[in-house]
Chain A
Amino acid sequence: MSALNIKKGSSSHSAYDLRSANSEIEESHTLAVIVENEPGVLARVIGLFSGRGYNIDSLTVAEVDHTGHRSRITIVTRGTPAVIDQIEAQLSRMVPVHAVHDLTMEGPSVQRELALVKVKGKGEHRIEALRLAEIFRANVVDSTLESFVFEMTGTPEKIDAFADLMRPLGLIEIARTGVAALKRGT
């Protein structure tokens, strides 16, 4: 007696729908990727994300150890836990990658972003912009009679909130660095 019932043509489901109806929820994770600072390494990391269809919400990179030729790439990405695990595994196996830290999973971390925000306006709008900037502890780094450039650091959410408030007051341009992050404590 066969333990299995062999059905033929009874189903119309697709094979490759890895995210079925009961799939897990997408999460945002901040990854710190320590790489050998050599030509093409950033292209390699970015190529992995585009080639395999992963998201990049923000990315920052700079050499952090001149003698050791190490750069630190901080990537904010989104995905289900399975996808995040896969991203970490894919990054870890790359030859020029020394270490991958999931700062979202490794305990509390400090996350900061720097933004330059240009606001154009006159009269009451201009005064209100300056007042709000003070509340957000943003510095004025450039000023004309009709505009300010504010510099502020904070979490991406804080910068989002500041930008939202500035929009009706004449926000015309914004530059953001993307997130730099470190694990808290030792």
Chain B
Amino acid sequence: MTKQMTGAKMVVQALKDQGVEVVFGYPGGAVLPIYDELFLQNDIRHILVRHEQGAVHMAEGYARSTGKPGVALVTSGPGATNAVTGLTDALMDSIPIVVLTGQVPTFMIGTDGFQEADTVGITRPCTKMNWLVKDTAKLSETIHQAFHVATHGRPGPVLIDIPKDVQFATADYVPAEKAKVSHYQPRTEGDPDQIARLVELMETAERPIFYTGGGVINSGPRASQLLRELVAETNFPITSTLMGLGCYPASGKNWVGMLGMHGLYEANLAMHGCDVMINIGARFDDRITGRVKDFSPRSKKAHIDIDPSSINKVIRVDVPIVGDVTKVLEEVLRQWRARGSKTDQRGLAQWWKQIDEWRAVKCLSYKPSTTTIKPQYALERLEALTKGMDRYICTEVGQHQMWAAQFLGFEDPNRWMTSGGLGTMGYGLPASIGVQIAHPKALVINVAGEASWLMNMQEMGTAMQFRAPVKQFILNNERLGMVRQWQELLHGERYSSSWSESLPDFVKLAEAFGCKGIKCDDPKDLDDAIMEMLRYDGPVIFDCLVEKHENCFPMIPSGKPHNEMLLGDADTQGVIGSKGAVLV
């Protein structure tokens, strides 16, 4: 019952079998046979991007907002090398994507042929796994295996390099259900004994905190549901990394805000002062820990992670639990309920009192202005005017990204797309298009800085062509804001190359692309301008001119522990020594 077909047809058939509906890509010589097959069918939609980096970020945005793997298709050589940044971004943030690259025919590999690059060699360190398929008979199974690897265990990017002669040759197609069972079967069930130790720790904790991360999102919506149940049953405070925003609602009463370098005062001090830390799907990133030696010095730490190499990598923990967040939380809740567990009510009441004192500091306050738009104010208004809408937020990288994380509230998982690990400027615009393609009716906003946004602005063409009504909300300070902030604090206010000279007129740029441009520089006009953006049925480039030298606070300077946080400009005088300046 096997079916003979060409490699190119196999690719399309395998994608259909895997439930793929959209492919983001860019054609070229080495993938022409696949594009021919795409032309001859109507099940899979192809989104033509303007640059291959855009294709991979769109696939990431699609994946993050749906929980399904995103797919990109690019040609050999420059097509593949342009995909490298996106692959690395997906690896750092554990995003399941499948990238298909064309390659010169097998008999030309190694001859420095036109548009030849050692794609599997170049992408080996930036993929979870990659394959060069030299035999059409192995192509369909490799594609099924690729989807399996991308979505099982800790998710990540995979790449399949397909030489052109393999696309033309004919072989038997192997359907997904007949494909060889992969030996890659990472453990998903947590060790019940370790979970029992965690439950005991939780029963006796006086100053506990849930420290959650992107692993909760990656585990699926059920993980967020279970987490909410666990928080409700224990009444423990909960914080989250940048990657985990939305796993617990920002409106929830136990929410203490994001933690980390630009996290909230109460979140960071709770991390520093807790006696039991329960890490769920986060990885003790350096943006979170600050100085490792002084990280949460008095706490017992439990760590739930599907990737065994995340455990004890940076911080030694007392209770390691390798497993999928959903399955582990199910078991935690089962044991908690079976034991009739109770929390330390008195200790917890004290702890909440302490946290409320920290909250009273109001670390996000800023000096308002009636003449200039403060970036924080712009985001407060955006939050107020879009609250309750079917809303997805993407960001670029920099100050605006941190302000967005601080000032926008996320009620559900998969609603927040940001480049956390790699910090890729130019991520947000293409990602927002990927999200919009997956959710055509939703409101998709990319909160951007003007410098990041320019890095992939060609993708506005994609947004126009495929009628993706993405809203590009650019906080334009005519500076590389975060670079400028570090130069102010660490490099004696020598602003070396950190301003945006010769910026385009964003309104005219919008007109050139055929979409709507809005410019606003007066706080009094801001609400109307935002409403105009929201009402417009199509892509909008919103040029929001904001205060140029605003700094992003709170801030834990590099090389400092959580309790040495800067709350505002007055705190910054001479606090960062030369050793801190070495760090990023």
Q: Of B149, B184, B286, B575, which one neighbours A8 at CB under 8 angstroms?
A: B575
Whether, in the assembled complex, B313 has its beta carbon less than 8 Å from a beta carbon of chain A, the answer is yes
What are the residues of chain B within 8 A of A10 when measuring CB–CB?
A: 564
Nearest chain B residue, comparing its CB with the CB of A91: B309
> Which residues of B from 170 to 185 have beta carbons under 8 Å from A?
183-184
Nearest chain B residue, comparing its CB with the CB of A12: B577
Whether, in the assembled complex, A44 has its beta carbon less than 8 Å from a beta carbon of chain B, the answer is yes
Whether, in the assembled complex, A105 has its beta carbon less than 8 Å from a beta carbon of chain B, the answer is no
Q: Of B311, B357, B574, B582, which one neighbours A14 at CB under 8 angstroms?
A: B582
Q: Of B153, B308, B311, B583, which one neighbours A15 at CB under 8 angstroms?
A: B583
Contact flag A15-B357 (CB < 8 Å), given A40-B120, A51-B125, A93-B186: no
Bound-complex Cα distance A19 to B292 (A): 11
Q: Of A2, A18, A43, A93, which one neighbours B124 at CB under 8 angstroms?
A: A43
A4 B563 Cβ-Cβ under 8 A: yes
Whether, in the assembled complex, A82 has its beta carbon less than 8 Å from a beta carbon of chain B, the answer is yes
Chain A contact patch, size range: 35 or more
Bound-complex Cα distance A9 to B290 (A): 14
> Which residues of B from 550 to 584 have beta carbons under 8 Å from A?
558-561, 563-566, 571, 574-580, 582-583
Q: Of B293, B309, B565, B566, which one neighbours A93 at CB under 8 angstroms?
A: B309
Whether, in the assembled complex, B386 has its beta carbon less than 8 Å from a beta carbon of chain A, the answer is no
Contact flag A9-B309 (CB < 8 Å), given A14-B559, A16-B292, A43-B121: no
Whether, in the assembled complex, A7 has its beta carbon less than 8 Å from a beta carbon of chain B, the answer is yes
Chain A's nearest CB lies how many Å from the CB of B208?
A: 15
Whether, in the assembled complex, A47 has its beta carbon less than 8 Å from a beta carbon of chain B, the answer is yes
Whether, in the assembled complex, B291 has its beta carbon less than 8 Å from a beta carbon of chain A, the answer is yes
Chain A at the B interface: SS class: loop
Nearest chain B residue, comparing its CB with the CB of A2: B357
What are the residues of chain B within 8 A of A17 when measuring CB–CB?
A: 292-293
Chain A's nearest CB lies how many Å from the CB of B71?
A: 19
Whether, in the assembled complex, B116 has its beta carbon less than 8 Å from a beta carbon of chain A, the answer is no
A85 B124 Cβ-Cβ under 8 A: no
Chain B's nearest CB lies how many Å from the CB of A58?
A: 23
B564 A11 Cβ-Cβ under 8 A: yes
Whether, in the assembled complex, A13 has its beta carbon less than 8 Å from a beta carbon of chain B, the answer is yes
Q: Of B293, B307, B314, B354, which one neighbours A20 at CB under 8 angstroms?
A: B293
A86 B579 Cβ-Cβ under 8 A: no
> Which residues of B from 64 to 80 have beta carbons under 8 Å from A?
none
A13 B311 Cβ-Cβ under 8 A: no
A89 B309 Cβ-Cβ under 8 A: yes
> Which residues of A from 57 to 77 have beta carbons under 8 Å from B?
none
A90 B309 Cβ-Cβ under 8 A: yes
> Which residues of B from 279 to 304 have beta carbons under 8 Å from A?
286, 289-293
